[in-house]
């Protein structure tokens, strides 16, 4: 039984004596983007790739082949420093203009919570996602003339950075059979199946039955694409990373299987023009980066002069002793130790919610500013210097902020998936 869907115009052919049918398809694919809005490459060859050039390249490819299919193995974002959140926001904004057909969701893409990726037109998928919905689906159906594709991916719970906080089960099902059944059903319906993974080929072969997988994308190599190979009837593609290049494979099918393919790696050197339609997006990003840098410089100047707006809970105790005593009995008072217990006490993305005023002129490290470790008064009420110096005459910075909003500065998204204000507030009420 042929696995690609035959258009109405070709039905007549099926009534004739049996013959091999062929349906061409152009597939554009890529691997780990790694938050590289504009990859740096200080070499004689210059920089390759980047969102501005990828946009130009995809438009040129679509003008040549309007029905091409574009897929990505995901990991669009990076979260290696506290500065990566701004870059990630703009990566998503830029990527959403590409009109991809399917993008595999990876754990790094969830670094700032599901809500962070929710507002962008990106077709995320994870075959074992627990609550398949509008933002993340378990598969993506793509129809092109005489071919229907069904794309799946696997998001391994074992690689979840949330495992020690018991959150991976909230997001995914630890059951490969869910994806395997989806592949089998798609195959039986005559759909061409694509599986996107972050594993090398040998591991995929150990964990999955590839009998129902027509095209497999495996773990990306460092920057450079590999030549495709056949594993039985499965075409295996290994992309490069950092968004520096794109892969193109022109496919023909026979009896529902990949029959022939022609592969090309598309370079995006400096000779590829930037897409001027994204110029405003790019300038806006650079302006935000500049503003963040200048703000950080001002904070460092204040710290160097011995001035800072965050004082620590001990400064509050002289006037608010009962509240201070109540705080000391809560988990907030030992929040930094929870990071130390799971090896995250040097991760800026974790430190920011387990200390006072990190990256805002407060906590620097546990040697220079130990008094600002843990979640304290100023996390919720705002920097207290002006309030203390005025002996309480000047209100705290966050005086007008609703209680729920104060909590949601940290208790949001994948960082605190089961947060409910009415349940959490009694634990710290004072």
Q: Where do the structural domains in the chain lie, given as residue ranges? A: 8-274, 308-428
Residue 388, pLDDT > 80, answer yes
Per-residue model confidence (pLDDT) at position 10: 33
Grade residue 115 by pLDDT with cuts at 50, 70 and 90: confident
Residue 133, pLDDT > 90, answer no
Instruction: For residue 334, report the phi and psi dihedrals to the nearest 5 degrees.
Output: -125, 25
Residue 122, pLDDT > 50, answer yes
DSSP 47: -
Grade residue 154 by pLDDT with cuts at 50, 70 and 90: very high
Handedness of CA 49, 52, 55, 61 (dihedral sign): negative
* pLDDT, greater one: 297 or 219: 219
Residue 137, pLDDT > 80, answer yes
| pLDDT, mean of residues 198-205 | 96
| pLDDT, mean of residues 199-221 | 96
Grade residue 292 by pLDDT with cuts at 50, 70 and 90: confident
Is the whole model's pTM more than 0.85, yes or no?
no
| pLDDT, mean of residues 87-116 | 94
| pLDDT, mean of residues 207-233 | 95
SS3 assignment for 350-392: HHCCCECCCCCCCCCCCCCCHHHECCCHHHHHCCCHHHHHCCC
Per-residue model confidence (pLDDT) at position 22: 41
Average pLDDT over the chain, rounded to whole? 86
- The percent of residues above 90 in pLDDT, for the chain, comes to 58
Q: Does domain 8-274 have CATH number 3.60.21.10?
A: yes
- Window from 185-194, 215-224, 349-358 with minimum mean pLDDT: 349-358
Per-residue model confidence (pLDDT) at position 19: 32
Per-residue model confidence (pLDDT) at position 344: 74
* pLDDT, greater one: 370 or 303: 370
Q: Which CATH class is domain 308-428?
A: mainly alpha
| pLDDT, mean of residues 153-182 | 80
Contacts of 73 (CB under 8 A, 6+ apart): 29, 30, 31, 32, 104, 106, 153, 196, 197, 198, 217, 220, 239
Rounded Cα–Cα distance for residues 212 and 184 (Å): 6
Residue 14, pLDDT > 60, answer no
Per-residue model confidence (pLDDT) at position 367: 77
**pLDDT (tens digit per residue) in 225-281:** 999 999 999 999 999 999 999 999 999 988 888 999 999 999 999 999 999 999 999
Per-residue model confidence (pLDDT) at position 16: 33
Same fold yes or no, 8-274 and 308-428: no
Per-residue model confidence (pLDDT) at position 4: 39
Per-residue model confidence (pLDDT) at position 276: 97
Per-residue model confidence (pLDDT) at position 42: 54
Q: Compute how many other C-beta atoms are within 10 angstroms of the C-beta atom of residue 271.
A: 8
CA torsion 403-409-410-414 (nearest 10°) is 110
Residue 8, pLDDT > 60, answer no
| pLDDT, mean of residues 385-396 | 90
Per-residue model confidence (pLDDT) at position 17: 33
């Amino acid at each position: 039984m042929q696995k690609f869907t035959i258009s109405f115009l070709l039905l007549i052919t099926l009534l004739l004596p049996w013959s091999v049918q062929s349906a061409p398809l152009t597939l554009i694919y890529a691997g780990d983007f790694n938050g590289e809005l504009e990859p740096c490459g200080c070499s004689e060859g210059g920089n390759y790739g980047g969102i501005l050039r990828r946009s130009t390249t995809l438009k040129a490819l679509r003008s040549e082949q309007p029905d091409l299919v574009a897929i990505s193995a995901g990991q669009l974002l990076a979260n290696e420093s506290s500065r990566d959140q701004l870059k990630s926001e703009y990566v998503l904004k830029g990527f959403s203009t590409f009109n991809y057909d399917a993008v595999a969701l990876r754990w790094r893409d969830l670094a700032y919570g599901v809500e962070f990726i929710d507002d962008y037109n990106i077709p995320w998928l994870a075959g074992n996602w627990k609550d398949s919905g509008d933002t993340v689906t378990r598969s993506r159906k793509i129809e092109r003339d005489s071919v229907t594709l069904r794309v799946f991916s696997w998001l391994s719970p074992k690689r979840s950075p949330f495992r020690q906080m018991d959150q991976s089960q909230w997001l995914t099902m630890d059951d490969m059979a869910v994806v395997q059944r989806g592949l089998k059903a798609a195959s039986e319906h005559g759909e061409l199946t694509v599986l996107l993974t972050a594993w090398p080929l040998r591991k995929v072969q150990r964990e999955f039955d590839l009998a129902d997988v027509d095209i497999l994308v495996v773990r990306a190599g460092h920057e450079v694409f590999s030549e495709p190979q056949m594993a039985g009837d499965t075409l295996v593609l290994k992309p490069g990373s950092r968004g520096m290049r794109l892969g193109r494979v022109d496919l023909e099918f026979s009896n529902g299987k990949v029959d022939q393919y022609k592969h090309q790696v598309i370079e995006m050197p400096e000779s590829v023009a930037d897409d001027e339609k994204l110029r405003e997006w790019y300038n806006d990003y650079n302006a935000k980066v500049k503003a963040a840098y200048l703000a950080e410089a001002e904070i460092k100047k204040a710290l160097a002069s011995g001035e800072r707006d965050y004082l620590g809970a001990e400064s509050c105790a002289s006037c608010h002793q009962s509240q201070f005593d109540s705080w000391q009995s809560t988990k907030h008072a030992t929040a930094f130790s929870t990071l130390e217990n799971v090896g995250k006490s040097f991760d800026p993305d974790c430190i920011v919610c387990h200390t006072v005023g990190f990256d805002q002129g407060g906590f620097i490290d546990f040697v220079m500013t130990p008094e600002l470790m843990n979640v304290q008064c100023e996390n919720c009420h705002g920097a207290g210097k002006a309030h203390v110096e005025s002996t309480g005459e000047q209100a705290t910075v966050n005086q007008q902020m609703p209680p729920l909003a104060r909590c949601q500065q940290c208790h949001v998204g994948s960082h605190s998936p089961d947060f409910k204000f009415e349940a959490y507030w009694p634990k710290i009420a004072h």
